[in-house]
Amino acid sequence: MAHAVNVQRMSTMLLKTLRDDPADAETANHKLLVRAGYVRRTAAGIWSWLPLGKRVLDNVSRVVREEMDAIGAQEVLLPALLPREAYETSGRWDEYGDLLFRLKDRKGADYLLGPTHEEIFTLTVKDQCTSYKDLPVIVYQIQTKYRDEARPRSGVLRGREFQMKDSYSFDVTDEGLAESYRLHRDAYTRIFERLGLDYRIVSAVSGAMGGSASEEFLAPAAAGEDTFVDCPACDYAANTEAVTFAAPSAGDGAVHGPV
């Protein structure tokens, strides 16, 4: 059976490399992505993805979709422009403060550009699932998020507009919730391994996302956004904001960062 392969000639590709580092670049990823022609800066924290960069994004998204679909999750696509009411009900219209991009329509109604979609996912499932018999269900999306970061930096690692995969399970029992969490945790492990990333699973603070417990998948790097502690002897790792007990004696653990 013959297979069609799309080929892009390098001579015609929209690609311009740079000899020197961009003047505003501070981290290696920022310098290399711009110099190699993967991205271009449009404004502070806002990036245009050029053909090579878009191919990388699409490949990462494909891996994520394959692993999410494998656990029975269903993909949706929710709007980025959201009404104030849902976030007013949850209290996050005020809680998010200056982080939100807020705007009004021509009639004066308040809207925001979605920083995350818990409220809208909940309303969507509430509308579609009218009985406990419709549950459990796992839904996810890969969507653009918007956060008015005070200091967007490190290239695409800290942007004001960025792609995010967010997933939500709706369960009837605590046991069902635990099983959904396990499915997600295993899926994320496979995603990181397929992408060839060195990573750690650490305890974390839920923050504005909410939740009774939280873990983060962190990739150690020379330049990053966070730090974590790691104690192999006691099988403990946590974001420094989530550490719950005193540091071990010298030689038993380490502080890693940034990630």
Mind listing the pLDDT tens digit for each residue in 144-181? 999 999 888 788 888 999 999 999 999 999 999 999 99
Token duo for residue 20: 């020197």
CA distances from 66 to 75, 212, 230, 241 (A): 11, 28, 31, 32
Distance CA 171, CA 9 (A): 49
Question: pLDDT of 32-45, one tens digit each?
Answer: 899 999 999 999 99
- Give the containing element (helix H, strand E) for 228: strand 228-231
Architecture in CATH for domain 44-196: 2-Layer Sandwich (3.30)
Tabulate helix, strand, coil % of the chain (nearest 5): 35, 25, 40
Tell me, letter by letter, the H, E, C secondary structure of 109-123.
Answer: CEEEECCCCHHHHHH
What's the start-to-end Cα distance of the chain, in Å? 46
Structure tokens at 146: 């918007």
Can you give the pLDDT at residue 152? Answer: 86
Strand partners, 39: 49
Closest CA to 41 of 56, 28, 25: 25
Q: How far apart are CA 252 and CA 16, in angstroms?
A: 49
**Tens digits of per-residue pLDDT, 51-71?**
999 999 999 999 999 999 999
- Partner residues linked to 206 by β-bridges: none
Residue 226 three-state SS: coil
> Are 157 and 221 within 8 A, CB to CB?
no
Residues 6+ apart with CB under 8 A from 246: none
Q: Which of 121, 104, 110, 111 is nearest to 82 (CA)?
A: 111
89-136 pLDDT, tens digit each = 999 999 999 999 999 999 999 999 999 999 999 999 999 999 999 999
Cα separation, 171 vs 176, whole angstroms = 6
130, burial (CB in 10 Å: exposed 0-12, middle 13-18, buried 19+): exposed
Tell whether the torsion through CA atoms of 7, 13, 14 and 16 is positive or negative: positive
Residues of the chain with CATH 3.30.930.10: 44-196
Please say if the pLDDT value at position 253 is more than 60. no
- Provide the pLDDT confidence category of residue 143 given band limits of 50, 70 and 90: very high
Unique residue bearing structure tokens 């007013």: 88
